[in-house]
Structure 1
């Protein structure tokens, strides 16, 4: 399946699951509050499948799978037979109406916990939180290649993804953060990352890279893929050679080659390069030459070799709990992610983080859904959990036309003792539509800038 079709498919699956649970929350509580439900629809537009239940509810799957709704009996939306008036939504007590409105977001929050539980039980394959290369702030903190990150602040980091998710918020807040590591020698020590030294503004998507951390799994083997003609390496090195040392300095990855060659070129003269060639260890003499970068146009000391296309690194860690232990783990993760979501909203409003990287549109969500599905069931479950959490919390925001807007009206009614006027509710609907339209416009703009304009 192509990336385009895969993205569309997994977006439909994700939205279908989340919307179905959200609307089922409204439906289930409405029925138990004595409200007659006329229609339960997954999707909008022309019905593709329809069935009428014994309770009189029409169940529909519609053509446009980008939402859904529950239509209840309501005197404000049409005539209601006298014998059914007591089943109309608008005739229910304010507490029942509050319960029905809140039920949708609550269903998403419950689904979030269930999805995290399933993710922990299935087991999410990932990479070990082992540092491969350090520079800048990370090096100044004392982190070294081979260190295994055990915790960032008070959050355990059993995988590299967990470490990244803990480091990014601290980087966005420019907050100095303790990192507990196990060194290559087996000692457990705590290093202080001075994230307050990060630039005032930086690409938030590259936060971990900016602080100077490269994971071990991203280290590219020092394997030669091509030797350019008429360069120092021509006739000396060969395709498939793995460089193991330069001038006696060990080479663990391709990133180690550049700095060593620059030092040798500035020193002048020949040097010895040790390579592994099909199992044979060879020491070859070579003299670096001044070259010009095709990308930047800058001069540099080079050998004339290009790296081989690196293979996909195998995942070497799994985040997994047994079914019983997964229950509190799922609750903790849901609470933590909810806290992080509120914190991110706060950063966006205060300008500490770009809204371009905060508000995601359907293209970004579709690509993320496809990517997570390709990575495995547990990754897709995690993405669904995060989306369900976001849907539940954002729906509770006090914006008219959202569940939170209706909840606001009912809370005002509790205080006043009388319902909010039709005029005030109509005005609120216009304001809500304008806010949602603006948010959707921003989301589409971000999609275009982040995914289409490259």
Structure 2
């Protein structure tokens, strides 16, 4: 995956979602009688403009990371007497609140539309069947075994691994006995209790399932090469289709998964491969590529395995709904993702979840690029999650955000008059400071992930 792909996907995603947010403010303001002076897609220097009805200027600006809406407001400029009734500051509280909430509201609506499209198109998911269970882990202590299928978490049905992960994130932190309903390979339903309170599964370790000792089921694949990436490390080293990799740096390899784990942990390193070919053994050395992974650089050899696809197909299921049924499913998915996001924010504040969960633009760009390369459905899922996060973030009661302005309006409603201009300016400065600190922490997390645990 190239850095250029990440950048393009990030610009498209963020530009689209912030524009949707600002269009929400624009659309509701127009319908509630507030004059909109400018609706801009992008920031900075205006490179194209057109005058629309009612004097609204529609503009395209040079920096394609979002947009903004400028409304008529006496606090920002002189307003002619005949237009003062259309100024934002002259409108009653309920109108101002509706306009402020419309931005996040359109983000939530966009998420519903994205999920709806995803469910109508359909997606192929792995059934939540357990693979290997790590010894002495929380999963092992709970009695979970390879082949068990997770039917429900905390009483909520789980059809896919995404469902399992959502429920773990929603119900897990602080819960020493999270109930899991599992179906054994023999078809018996049993209840297990998973302790997720004493481990760093919710931020200290970004791989929640791995921190619990759970591996999703994967087919047992022998370390035999089926295809090579053209001009990749394996091809340059002389490896060939049909080679069986029997050792890496003189360490025996039994399954393809072990080979993948060894390679991923060594980005940029030279590794020796012992292969069996035509009845004999050869030793070949390859310098692994270093590529961006979700939590830092990973190694890549540039090979794919040979395996029995029928076993994988038996563990897959298609999640797809008709257009009407998809509306309810999309609304439910948006609600669940929003609840999980809000819970995680609260837990970061209270210390139940690590602030390492916080991602900045670098990490978001990586996820944007990965999801875009995987196809339309994964990219739609990514857009929905980020849109929900953007909506919730903007509703936080922090001055300079929509939620901060809603807070000021709430204080005005209680007092019967607005806060003084000096108090609002002070609040805005505090809000900017808080956002600056938040962004600094997010950038720190991103850089820490890029560097990796070894530093």
SS at match of 2:207: helix
Say yes or no: does 1:210 pair with 2:211. yes
Residues 61-80 of structure 1 mapped to structure 2, 5 A cutoff: 61-80=60-79
Residues 402-413 of structure 1 mapped to structure 2, 5 A cutoff: 402-413=401-412
Aligned position for 2:163: 162
Aligned position for 1:240: 244
Q: Distance in 1 between matches of 2:53 and 2:189?
A: 64
Aligned position for 1:298: none
Q: CA RMSD in A?
A: 3.1
Max radius of gyration: which structure? 1
Residues 7-26 of structure 1 mapped to structure 2, 5 A cutoff: 7-26=6-25
Query: Against the structure 1 CA distance between its residues 184 and 402, is the aligned structure 2 distance closer, same or farther, given a 3 Å change threshold?
Result: same
Q: Would you say the 8 A contact 2:202–2:354 is kept in 1? A: no
Q: Distance in 2 between matches of 1:64 and 1:149?
A: 46
Per-residue CA distance 1:337-388 (angstroms, 9 max, x = gap):
222112111221122222122x211111111111111222121111111111
Q: Distance in 2 between matches of 1:252 and 1:186?
A: 30
Q: Aligned residue pairs: how many? A: 387
By how many angstroms is 1:169 displaced? Answer: 4.7
Q: Distance in 1 between matches of 2:407 and 2:367?
A: 33
Q: Distance in 2 between matches of 1:424 and 1:189?
A: 59
Say yes or no: does 1:417 pair with 2:416. yes
Residues 274-353 of structure 1 mapped to structure 2, 5 A cutoff: 310=305, 316-353=316-353
Residues 114-263 of structure 1 mapped to structure 2, 5 A cutoff: 114-136=113-135, 137-196=138-197, 198=199, 203-217=204-218, 221-223=221-223, 239-240=243-244, 253=255
By how many angstroms is 1:37 displaced? Answer: 0.4
Q: Would you say the 8 A contact 2:17–2:387 is kept in 1? A: yes
Aligned position for 1:287: none
Higher deviation after alignment, 149-158 or 168-177: 168-177
Q: Distance in 1 between matches of 2:446 and 2:189?
A: 43
By how many angstroms is 1:66 displaced? Answer: 2.1
By how many angstroms is 1:393 displaced? Answer: 1.3
Say yes or no: does 1:58 pair with 2:57. yes
By how many angstroms is 1:171 displaced? Answer: 4.7
Q: Distance in 2 between matches of 1:109 and 1:206?
A: 27
Per-residue CA distance 1:370-409 (angstroms, 9 max, x = gap):
1111222121111111111111111111111111111111
Query: Against the structure 1 CA distance between its residues 5 and 92, is the aligned structure 2 distance closer, same or farther, given a 3 Å change threshold?
Result: same
Per-residue CA distance 1:61-119 (angstroms, 9 max, x = gap):
21112232100111221122222222111221222112111111111122222222222
The gaps in structure 1 that reach 5 residues or longer are 226-237, 243-250, 258-275, 283-307
SS at match of 2:54: coil
Q: Would you say the 8 A contact 2:201–2:207 is kept in 1? A: no
Q: Distance in 2 between matches of 1:361 and 1:200?
A: 20
By how many angstroms is 1:224 displaced? Answer: 5.7
By how many angstroms is 1:239 displaced? Answer: 4.7
Q: Would you say the 8 A contact 1:121–1:322 is kept in 2? A: yes
Query: Against the structure 1 CA distance between its residues 197 and 445, is the aligned structure 2 distance closer, same or farther, given a 3 Å change threshold?
Result: closer
Q: Would you say the 8 A contact 1:158–1:319 is kept in 2? A: no
Q: Distance in 1 between matches of 2:33 and 2:202?
A: 54
Query: Against the structure 1 CA distance between its residues 63 and 7, is the aligned structure 2 distance closer, same or farther, given a 3 Å change threshold?
Result: same
Q: Distance in 2 between matches of 1:437 and 1:197?
A: 32
Query: Against the structure 1 CA distance between its residues 211 and 121, is the aligned structure 2 distance closer, same or farther, given a 3 Å change threshold?
Result: same
By how many angstroms is 1:6 displaced? Answer: 0.9
Aligned position for 1:91: 90
Query: Against the structure 1 CA distance between its residues 66 and 188, is the aligned structure 2 distance closer, same or farther, given a 3 Å change threshold?
Result: same
Query: Against the structure 1 CA distance between its residues 90 and 202, is the aligned structure 2 distance closer, same or farther, given a 3 Å change threshold?
Result: closer
Q: Distance in 1 between matches of 2:203 and 2:183?
A: 29
TM-score by length of 1: 0.77
SS at match of 2:208: helix
SS at match of 1:370: helix
Aligned position for 1:48: 47
Aligned position for 2:356: 356
Q: Distance in 2 between matches of 1:376 and 1:425?
A: 45
